[in-house]
Amino acid sequence: MEDCKMCMVPQIQLDVNHMMSATLGERGISEQEVAALRDAAEKAYENVRAHRGQGWLGWTELPYNQEAVIADIEKTAAEVRKQFDTFVVLGIGGSALGPIAVQQALNHLHYNELPAEKRGGPRFYVEDNIDPERMAALFDVIDVKTTCFNVITKSGGTAETMSQYLIFTDALKKAVGDDWAKHIITTTGADRGNLIKLTRENGFKHFIVPDGVGGRYSEMCPVGLFPAAVCGIDIRAMLKGAACMDKRCQSGDVWQNPALMEAVLQYIATERGMNVQAVMPYADSLKYMADWFCQLWAESLGKNVTRDGKPCNVGQTPTKALGVTDQHSQLQLYTEGPYDKVITLIKVGAFRSTVEIPHGCEEFHDVAFLGGKTLNQLIEAERQGTEYALLKAGRMSQTITLPCVNAGTIGQLMYFFELTTAYEGELLNIDAFNQPGVEESKVASYAVLGNEAEKYRAKQEEMAKRPALSDKYIF
Ligand code: PA5
């Protein structure tokens, strides 16, 4: 694997051998099928290239255009690290999954449990749900007097996040009185929603979610960068990694652009009935990267109308699994269940720890043979075992290798997935940047809660007309 000249870390690698008929046999994708999509792929590339930095493609420029904001993030993060012992992100969906994934990838796997001097930054929590038990549990482990809350919502009005805002501002006012606003840092859109108004009204320190950066594409802006910096992550290296991947994807030729090749292969696979993509990192550090990817892929591509207004129902369903844990849970289905999945294995070349397995149990050969090996060898052997089992069963799989997990490779990986998603949206001819399907449930839940505004009252009336439930079906 080559070193990237920009981020000075080895490049991540996409190996699609096991997607292709040359390796997988008749269930694989042939080069002719890829060639047949050459024009469509070029067009997808060209559309994304031509609109770089514009409209909802604002995120494509994030690796390059944030010098001033990065300086502000670093300065503010340093202050937070000095002043607070706990840092809580309030946000949901795209305003939470990136921070969670990056923290898990780049910090100690038991970060919060480390003693303060080893941690180097505040304890870190992301409240991305409104489960009352979880909220009560958080209050049991934090002291609001020494906690900084980063309220993240691009729209500035998401019910989950704003209800959390109300809960914590109330708690802060009771605990620290007039100083309450010093505990709040907001990250929100510049000119819409209530949070920016509250920010101005209360003088909160704040960061702006730039225009053209949707929630699930926002990890490389203050949404993701600020929490990462607070926890000591090298955000400049992350951005360099993203820029490095961007540079590798500057071609309309699928053989020269890994994200474009990936989009084309997933497009063909889905056309062939592989309606599911299971992302299976073989590393706990990447466990939540799979969650982040699932939202990106699902919310971007699950659409019922094409850009030119024709009805469609498209989108490959992403699911997550963890190697090796899910070998003992999901793999049976992946190898012998329906031929409807692509398995994306994520491999780590060099783990940050090495654990040797001691010798012992000499009387039991199958136990004893493990002695003298490392867990590093075992996890990779099991990944290769899974890859082989999938191959033998005629299942499409691919492997993304991170030579090591660091800020540079994580930046590459996230940008790779974002770009792949944008190309996939082009191939499907849908808008990969909206989420109208989410709106219905939002409006319906406000109606259920009895919001008096006209749109919710109308929804209440509509909901009252739904079919009555029959006791017959309730057990
Ligand atoms: O990707 C998206 O746009 C969504 O998942 C949003 O991030 C999510 O709904 C939260 O929205 P907001 O950041 O406006 O609170």
Q: 160, 262, 299, 424: which is the annotated catalytic residue?
A: 299
pLDDT of residue 10: 87
Distance 253 CA to ligand 1 centre (A): 33
CA distance 245 to 128: 29
Indicate if the pLDDT at residue 6 is higher than 70: no
Q: Is the CB of 47 under 6 A from ligand 1?
A: no
**C-beta 95 within 6 A of ligand 1:** yes
Which residues have C-beta within 8 Å of that of residue 335, sequence separation ≥ 6?
A: 389, 390, 392, 393, 395
Q: How far is the CA of 216 from the centre of ligand 1 (A)?
A: 7
CA-nearest of 288, 247, 277, 220 to 424 is 277
Nearest-atom number in ligand 1 for the CA of 152 is 13
Q: What is the pLDDT of residue 2?
A: 67
Distance, CA of 466 to CA of 366 (rounded, Å):
60
Query: What pLDDT, in 10s, does the model give residues 96-136?
Result: 999 999 999 999 999 999 999 999 899 999 999 999 999 99
- Report the run of H or E that residue 336 belongs to, with start and end: helix 331-336
Q: Is 82 one of the catalytic residues?
A: no
Distance from residue 242's CA to the centre of ligand 1 (Å): 22
Please check the confidence at residue 1 and state whether its pLDDT lies above 70: no
- Look up the pTM and report it: 0.97
| Ligand 1 atom nearest 92 alpha carbon | 10
Burial (CB count within 10 angstroms: exposed 0-12, middle 13-18, buried 19+), residue 396: buried
Average pLDDT of the residues in 247-272: 98
Q: Would you place residue 182 in the very low, low, confident or very high pLDDT band (cuts 50, 70, 90)? A: very high
pLDDT tens, residue by residue, 67-97? 999 999 999 999 999 999 999 999 999 999 9
Question: What is the average pLDDT value for the chain, to the nearest integer?
Answer: 96
pLDDT value of residue 316? 98
Whose C-alpha lies nearest to ligand 1, atom 9? 93
Residue 243 is which amino acid? A
Above 80 in pLDDT, residue 3?
no
According to DSSP, residue 105 is labeled H
pLDDT tops 80 at residue 9: no
Q: Round to whole Å and give the CA distance between 98 and 280.
A: 17
For CA atoms 182, 183, 189, 195, give the dihedral sign: negative
* pLDDT for the residue 239: 98
pLDDT at 5: 62
Q: What is the pLDDT of residues 395-452, one digit of tens each?
A: 999 999 999 999 999 999 999 999 999 999 999 999 999 999 998 898 999 999 999 9
Residues 346-405 have pLDDT tens digits of 999 999 999 999 999 999 999 999 999 999 999 999 999 999 999 999 999 999 999 999
Nearest CA to ligand 1 atom 13: 153
Q: Which string of DSSP letters, residue by residue, matches 202-268?
A: HT-EEEEE-TT--GGG-TTSHHHHHHHHHTT--HHHHHHHHHHHHHHT--SSGGG-HHHHHHHHHHH
